[in-house]
Copies of this chain bind each other. A is one copy, B any other.
Amino acid sequence: MSANKAIMLTPGPTPLPPSVSNAMARPILHHRTKEFGELFDYMIREMQYVYRTKNSVLMMTTSGTGAMESAVVNLLSPGDKAIVHSTGAFGDRFVKIIETYGLKPVVIKEEWGHAADVKKLIKALEENKDVKAVFFQHTDTSTGVVNDVKALAHAVREHSAAVVVLDTVSALAAEPLETDAWDVDVAVTGSQKGLMNAPGLAFAAVSERAWKVVETAKLPKFYFDWRTMRKSLKDSETPYTPGVTLVMGQAEALRLIRQEGIENVWKRTAELSDYTRAWAKEQGLALFAKDPAHILTALKLPEGVDGQALIEEILREEGISIAGGQVHLKGKIIRIAHLGFISKSDLDAGFAALEKRLSRVRA
Contacts and interface: CB of A to CB of B under 8 A. Distances in A.
A101 B102 CA distance: 14
B69 A243 contact: no
A97 B30 contact: no
How many copies are assembled? 2
A224 to B, nearest CB: 8
A91 to B, nearest CB: 15
A26 B21 CA distance: 8
A6 B26 CA distance: 11
Interface stretch (A10-18, A37-45, A106-114): A10-18
B15 A28 contact: yes
Contacts of A222: 65, 69, 96-97, 100
A240 interface: yes
B30 A321 contact: yes
A143 B83 CA distance: 47
Interface string A303-341: 000000000000100000100000000000000000000
A63 B24 contact: no
B241 A13 contact: yes
A118 to B, nearest CB: 28
Interface string A186-209: 000010100000111000000000
Contacts of A97: 222
B245 A63 contact: no
Nearest to A10: B30
A246 interface: yes
Secondary structure at the A interface, as helix, strand, loop or mixed, is loop
A239 B221 CA distance: 20
B199 A244 contact: yes
A182 interface: no
Contacts of A292: none
Contact of A63 (B21, B64, B242): B242
**Best-buried of A65, A101, A220 by chain B (most CB within 10 Å):** A220
A242 B69 CA distance: 16
Nearest to A198: B245
A223 B192 CA distance: 18
Interface string A73-114: 000000000000000000000001100111000000000000
**Best-buried of A27, A96, A97 by chain B (most CB within 10 Å):** A27
Contact of A13 (B28, B102, B219): B28
Interface in A51-85: 61-66, 69
**Best-buried of A100, A220, A243 by chain B (most CB within 10 Å):** A243
A342 to B, nearest CB: 13
B27 A25 contact: no
Given A61-B199, A241-B13, A69 B223 contact: yes
Given A8-B28, A198-B246, A199-B245, 12 more contacts: A13-B30, A21-B24, A21-B25, A22-B25, A25-B25, A33-B315, A65-B222, A69-B223, A102-B220, A192-B241, A200-B242, A219-B220
19 contacts: A8-B30, A13-B28, A13-B29, A13-B244, A15-B28, A24-B25, A24-B198, A30-B321, A33-B321, A62-B62, A63-B240, A65-B239, A66-B223, A69-B223, A100-B221, A100-B222, A192-B241, A199-B241, A220-B220
The 9 closest A-B pairs by CB, nearest first: A200-B243, A198-B245, A25-B25, A63-B240, A65-B240, A21-B25, A66-B223, A199-B241, A100-B222
